[in-house]
């Protein structure tokens, strides 16, 4: 441990004390807190309120409305207990007068409450108005202004803790429950909000002075760094730009802020500590690679690239040229390339992958492309053969059902060096590529990190290019792929037709089918997509196997094929071959077609039960059309809204069939849709895996805190790469927080 870390450990010893060290926490309350995972003082201090209520404004009793949650003050003019003989229930009632009207404050079956009030006391009460005749609140929270000693938590008083070391100074802080921004905690049965506030206050009084900074050096560096968080200099950290509270002050403001701004600033400050620790973990992986690996010289000499580009028949886009320059610089550097290529559907990632492979092949090294499905692997294999075989480059296919390592008549003159396209089968021990220089992984989000690393170990620190056609929200990219450099293809190749997206309800189906028939008669092709292979008993759910015979009959004489994941590989390939050749005009399929299908004559897609697909998946499906010059149409058929779509619906507006689908129909920007999908579905559901510590964030949100994530990344990157000055590098992830 560094000297800074040892210092922090000594300071935080008190924070590791059991929660029972806090005044007011006996064995019973310790057990209740343990149900929420609160075992130590540190756990208690970092258990943030779920919200704060503004109880600074007082209402007149005469103006109260039924159901209103409010704060009033007044004098006790009468009080007493009453028992109902028929039910055995009792009620203790206090009547307040504020000069405008009377308020009845009632506590049911709590006769002992009589001890805490006297006639003539000045009270402040907060609660919900239950009735107007008489005006009444049940079980309100109270403060007695004229007799503050009585305001100690009853259990604390009973324990004799007031006045002991670490107990709350009531004269200094007479009001925790009203007249301020009041914390509202998540509780377990048996623990009240009132008691929970006193526990938090006592903990801060006793241990608040022992809270260290996560990393004092980084705090100073951050303060000097300026507050611009985004790479383009346009976005600032919202509240921290105004003041940088210490960690101790942030924790105090987290519980008992003076204003709502203080509470949000405190959350951001603590979230930044989390993001800094997360970035240390991510960027150490990259530094570890840089320190022990020497890159293979794979920048190439253009001997294959020039004839390849000349044969294309079109010029790469500016975005493709920019990304290829970034890749060439990486592959010619001293550190193995680790790059993520993001490109919207139809942006030309396959061309970039082929060109990157050529750089490795020109340098005498082989390249491997791993795809998540056999369909995609076969499509990529066909594309690469069409492009590279005229250059005498062997292109192999390696899947569970097809394992070829040679093509007759092709010889690069470099032993078995060439390009291999495959699936997970490439990870098997039987696959042993010669002189592996470049690994390309398509649709990266479908593979685990462990699978990626197993393939990389087939060579000696080969370069890595991972690609995805599912745009990744920027904040997620900085965490999930934080150890990778990121390139973006933000331009589509010329000659692509416009895609129009239409949202329809089932009553429009006759017109939709008539439109599909007209498109087929014009020589175009269509996809009909269903969410499942077989019916599952749901009344409004359709499936490929059920609908296929009906569609065949409805579209006669046009040939119709079907495709889904349970079909044998050779049958899938036969159907796809028929569709590519134009002999099959309509393909009835599941989402198995969302990647790897490129048929320029396909200009129409109908997606039934569209509400059952995620936005990213719908965008991938829509990307199968619009690959030729003709205008294309994507029709979403939906009869009801999905559960998550309520987040987009205005409370005052009538709910459309699915607001989520409406938003999808209004944009074809995959990055915009990715941000929307991220907000709707959250981190875990969107990615399907836990994010390098992000699932343990208490205060930070990968959805809302992008400026903080970017700032933390810049800060840690500068800190780790600064030349050593004789002082040990501190790392907040090693310290108690």
Q: Please, are residues 33 and 44 in contact by the beta-carbon 8 Å criterion?
A: yes
Could you tell me the two tokens for 152?
């100690």
Same domain? 481 vs 513: no
Q: Is 121 inside any structural domain?
A: yes
pTM higher than 0.75:
no
Decide which of 433, 468, 489 is a domain's last residue. Answer: 489
DSSP H or E run through 127: strand 122-132
Q: Is 538 inside any structural domain?
A: yes
Distance of alpha carbon 572 from alpha carbon 494, whole angstroms: 31
Q: pLDDT by residue (tens digit) across 10-48? A: 344 588 899 999 998 999 999 999 999 999 999 999 999
Q: Is 385 inside any structural domain?
A: yes
Q: Is 513 inside any structural domain?
A: yes
Distance of alpha carbon 668 from alpha carbon 686, whole angstroms: 19
Q: Which long-range contacts (CB under 8 A, 24 or more apart) does 491-496 make?
A: 491/317, 491/318, 491/319, 491/320, 491/347, 492/317, 492/344, 492/346, 492/347, 492/348, 493/314, 493/317, 493/346, 493/347, 493/348, 494/314, 494/317, 495/314, 495/629, 496/346, 496/626, 496/627, 496/628, 496/629
Q: Please, are residues 580 and 599 in contact by the beta-carbon 8 Å criterion?
A: yes
Q: pLDDT by residue (tens digit) across 83-97? A: 988 888 999 999 999
Same domain? 511 vs 636: yes
Same domain? 642 vs 720: no
Q: Residue 514 maps to which CATH number?
A: 3.40.50.300
Q: Is 295 inside any structural domain?
A: no
Q: pLDDT by residue (tens digit) across 352-393? A: 999 999 999 999 999 999 998 888 888 899 889 999 999 999
- Give counts: helices (H), strands (E), the chain: 21, 21
Q: Is 682 inside any structural domain?
A: no
pLDDT of residue 47: 93
Q: pLDDT by residue (tens digit) across 102-112? A: 999 999 999 98
Burial of 514 (0-12, 13-18, 19+ CB in 10 A): exposed
Q: Residue 90 maps to which CATH number?
A: 2.40.50.140
Decide which of 489, 522, 542 is a domain's last residue. Answer: 489
Q: What are phi and psi of 82, to 5 degrees?
A: -140, 135
Same domain? 285 vs 309: no
CB atoms within 10 A of CB 217: 15
Same domain? 33 vs 168: yes
The whole-chain average pLDDT of the chain stands at 80
Q: pLDDT by residue (tens digit) across 186-238? A: 888 888 888 899 999 999 999 988 888 877 667 666 665 554 434 344 445 55
- Residue 595 pLDDT class (50, 70, 90 cuts): confident
Burial of 541 (0-12, 13-18, 19+ CB in 10 A): middle
Q: Is 697 inside any structural domain?
A: no
Is the pLDDT at 170 greater than 60? The verdict is no
Q: pLDDT by residue (tens digit) across 554-580? A: 999 999 999 998 898 888 889 998 999
Same domain? 532 vs 470: no
Q: Is 231 inside any structural domain?
A: yes
Same domain? 539 vs 602: yes
Burial of 717 (0-12, 13-18, 19+ CB in 10 A): middle
Same domain? 321 vs 283: no
Same domain? 622 vs 513: yes
Q: Pick the most confident of 32-46, 171-185, 696-710.
A: 32-46
Decide which of 643, 668, 693 is a domain's last residue. Answer: 668
Same domain? 140 vs 169: no
Is the pLDDT at 171 greater than 70? The verdict is no
DSSP 589: E
Full domain range(s) for residue 108: 61-144
Same domain? 466 vs 358: yes
Number of domains making up the chain? 5
Same domain? 522 vs 397: no
Is the pLDDT at 593 greater than 70? The verdict is yes
């Amino acid at each position: 441990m560094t000297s800074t870390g040892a210092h922090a450990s000594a300071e935080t010893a008190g924070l590791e004390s059991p929660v029972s060290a806090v005044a007011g926490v006996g064995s019973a309350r310790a057990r209740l807190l343990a149900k929420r995972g609160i075992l130590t003082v540190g756990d208690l201090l970092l258990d943030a309120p779920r919200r704060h209520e503004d109880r600074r404004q007082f209402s007149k009793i005469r103006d109260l409305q039924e159901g209103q949650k409010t704060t009033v003050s007044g004098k006790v003019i009468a009080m007493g207990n009453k028992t109902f003989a028929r039910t055995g229930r009792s009620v203790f009632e206090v009547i307040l007068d504020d000069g405008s009207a009377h308020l009845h404050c009632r506590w049911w079956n709590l006769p002992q409450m009589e001890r805490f009030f006297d006639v003539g006391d000045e009270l402040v009460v907060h609660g919900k108005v239950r009735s107007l005749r008489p005006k009444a609140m049940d079980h309100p929270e109270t403060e007695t202004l004229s007799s503050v000693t009585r305001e100690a938590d009853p259990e604390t008083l009973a324990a004799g803790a007031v006045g002991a070391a670490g107990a709350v100074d009531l004269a200094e802080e007479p009001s925790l429950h009203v007249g301020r921004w009041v914390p509202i905690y998540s509780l377990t049965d048996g623990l009240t909000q009132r008691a929970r506030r006193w526990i938090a206050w006592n903990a801060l009084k006793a241990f608040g002075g022992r809270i260290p900074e996560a990393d004092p050096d980084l705090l100073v560096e951050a303060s000097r760094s300026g507050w611009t968080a985004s790479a383009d200099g346009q976005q600032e950290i919202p509240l921290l730009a105004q003041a940088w509270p210490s960690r101790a002050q942030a924790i105090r403001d987290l519980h008992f802020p003076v204003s709502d701004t203080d509470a949000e600033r405190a959350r951001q400050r603590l979230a930044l500590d989390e993001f800094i620790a997360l970035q240390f973990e991510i960027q150490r992986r990259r530094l570890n690679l840089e320190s022990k690996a020497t890159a293979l010289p794979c920048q190439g000499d253009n001997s294959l690239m020039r004839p390849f580009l000349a044969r294309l028949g079109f010029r790469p886009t500016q975005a493709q040229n920019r990304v290829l320059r970034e890749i060439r610089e990486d592959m010619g550097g001293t550190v193995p390339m680790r790059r993520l290529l993001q490109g919207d559907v139809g942006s030309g990632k396959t061309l970039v992958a082929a060109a990157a492979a050529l750089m490795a092949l020109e340098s005498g090294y082989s390249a491997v492309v791993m795809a998540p499905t056999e369909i995609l692997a076969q499509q990529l294999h066909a594309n690469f053969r069409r492009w590279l075989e005229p250059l005498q480059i062997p292109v192999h296919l390696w899947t569970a059902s097809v394992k070829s390592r040679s093509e007759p008549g092709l010889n690069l003159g470099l032993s078995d060096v060439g390009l291999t396209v495959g699936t997970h089968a490439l990870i098997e021990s039987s696959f042993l590529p010669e002189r592996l220089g470049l690994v390309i992984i398509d649709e990266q989000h479908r593979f685990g990190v462990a699978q990626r690393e197993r393939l990389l170990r087939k060579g000696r620190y080969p370069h890595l290019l991972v690609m995805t056609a599912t745009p990744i929200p920027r904040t997620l990219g900085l965490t999930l792929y934080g150890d990778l450099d990121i390139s973006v293809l933000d331009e589509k190749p010329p000659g692509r037709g416009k895609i129009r997206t239409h949202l329809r309800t089932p009553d429009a189906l006759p017109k939709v089918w008539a439109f599909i028939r007209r498109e087929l008669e014009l020589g175009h092709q269509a996809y009909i997509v269903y969410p499942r292979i077989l019916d599952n008993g749901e009344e409004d759910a359709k499936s490929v196997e059920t609908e296929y015979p009906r569609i065949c009959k409805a579209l006669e004489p046009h040939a119709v094929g079907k495709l889904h994941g349970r079909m044998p590989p050779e049958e899938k390939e036969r159907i796809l071959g028929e569709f590519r050749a134009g002999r099959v005009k309509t393909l009835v399929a599941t989402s198995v077609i969302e990647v790897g299908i490129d048929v320029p004559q396909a200009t129409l897609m109908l997606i039934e039960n569209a509400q059952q697909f995620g936005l990213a998946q719908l965008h991938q499906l829509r990307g199968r059309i619009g690959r030729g010059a003709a205008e294309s149409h994507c029709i979403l058929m939906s009869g009801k809204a999905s559960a998550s779509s309520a987040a987009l619906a205005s409370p005052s507006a009538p709910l459309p069939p699915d607001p989520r689908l409406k938003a999808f129909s209004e944009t074809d920007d995959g990055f915009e849709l990715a941000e929307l999908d991220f907000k709707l579905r959250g981190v875990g559901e969107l990615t399907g895996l836990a994010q390098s510590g992000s699932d343990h964030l208490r205060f930070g949100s990968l959805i809302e805190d992008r400026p903080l994530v970017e700032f933390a990344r810049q800060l840690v990157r500068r800190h780790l790469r600064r030349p050593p000055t004789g002082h040990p590098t501190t790392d907040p992830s090693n310290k108690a927080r």
